[in-house]
Amino acid sequence: MVLLRRVIGDALRARRQGQHRTLREVSTAANVSLGYLSEIERGQKEASSELLAAICDALGARLSEVLGEVSDTLLLAEEMEGVLVPVDGKPAVKADDAVRKVARDGEVSVSVRHDSPLTATLRATRKPQREVVYAA
């Protein structure tokens, strides 16, 4: 099972790091404690929609953009055979196996490690988004 809070945390961290900003800067701008923001980024805490909106605002991003990235990541993971859905009714892996699979599209890379038949760790990395400057 992939935890949505981990994928959301990865997306938020990637945005923050892409802007070369510290946890402290973003936590101050979002009015959330540094420790709590860190736990959200690591997927240890589940943020409310209001808190996610505040963090996105602090990052200069729309909530819909971040959730779109999360959706793209999950879609890519779902397309990896046997990662999120068992193949032919069989569990993806045996309990003592630790299978690692990687999939990529142009912008996102997803790696999945199976910790048990029902638990998988999904990590997504994105290419840094380029800043678009419009000249008048």
24 assigned to some structural domain: yes
132 assigned to some structural domain: no
Structure confidence at residue 78 as a pLDDT band (50, 70, 90):
confident
Name every residue whose Cβ is closer than 8 Å to that of residue 68 and which is 6 or more positions away in sequence: none
Map tokens 């959706």 to a residue.
71
Whether the CB-CB separation of 103 and 110 falls below 8 Å is answered with yes
What is the three-state SS of the chain? Answer: CCCHHHHHHHHHHHHHHHCCCCHHHHHHHHCCCHHHHHHHHCCCCCCCHHHHHHHHHHCCCCHHHHHHHHHHHHHHHHCCCCCCCCECCECCCCCCCCCEEEEECCCEEEEEEEEECCEEEEEEEECCCCCCCCCC
Name the residue type at position 50: E
Averaged over 99-122, what is the pLDDT? Answer: 60
Name the pTM for this structure.
Answer: 0.67
12 assigned to some structural domain: yes
- Give the structural domain span for 96: 4-126
76 assigned to some structural domain: yes
Choice among 32-41, 53-62, 72-81 with the minimum mean pLDDT: 72-81
Say how far apart CA 39 and CA 30 lie, in whole Å.
15
134 assigned to some structural domain: no
Q: Which residue has the higher pLDDT, 39 or 97?
A: 39
Averaged over 111-123, what is the pLDDT? Answer: 61
CATH of the domain at 114: 1.10.260.40
pLDDT on residue 49: 94
Say how far apart CA 16 and CA 58 lie, in whole Å.
9
Query: For the chain, how many structural domains are there in total?
Result: 1
**Highest mean pLDDT: which of 1-5, 14-18, 95-99?**
14-18
Q: Does position 66 have pLDDT exceeding 50, yes or no?
A: yes
Averaged over 78-82, what is the pLDDT? Answer: 69
Task: At 1, list the tokens.
Answer: 């099972």
64 assigned to some structural domain: yes
pLDDT on residue 16: 95
115 assigned to some structural domain: yes
131 assigned to some structural domain: no
pLDDT on residue 72: 86
